[in-house]
Amino acid sequence: MLLGSVDLQIAHETRINGKRILFTHAGFTYPWYLAHRNIIGELSADNLNGLTKREEGWEALADISAFRDGCEAYGSVLWADRGEFTHDALEDVPFDRQIVGHNQFSGNEALTLGTVSIIDCHHPFALTADLQLVRI
């Protein structure tokens, strides 16, 4: 009940030079979306944020895969692991770029897998107009 009264955002969407960009904590994979599209609806930041307003939405957000010692096939936008971003997990994604920030890894560059860019949460990055992530 406490979290239901908070306007919690788990996703943010914007456009840069006509490109559709999605920012999430852990990222979403298309198979996770397919498993829950009946409660999400069209894939958008607003609809992902709407999951926090319903009990079945919180249940979908609680999905944790074996990559993080859970029992679901794919983790949610709060729990997905970079190991889940395989080719089949990214097909049909309606965003030109998805920015994910909850991982920790060494290196000065973002890890890009298809349309997903994963940044090390210990370092700030800037997103350029041509959708490149640069550590600052």
- Give the residue-averaged pLDDT of 3-25: 85
Please state the pTM of the whole predicted model.
Answer: 0.85
Distance of CA 19 to the CA centre of its chain: 17
pLDDT in tens, 19-73: 999 999 888 888 899 999 999 999 999 999 999 999 999 999 999 998 888 888 8
pLDDT at 6: 66
Residue pair 77/95 in contact by the 8 Å Cβ criterion: no
pLDDT in tens, 82-120: 888 776 556 667 888 889 887 777 767 788 887 888 888
- Give the residue-averaged pLDDT of 125-129: 88
Alpha-carbon torsion angle 66, 69, 72, 75, nearest 10: -90
pLDDT at 44: 94
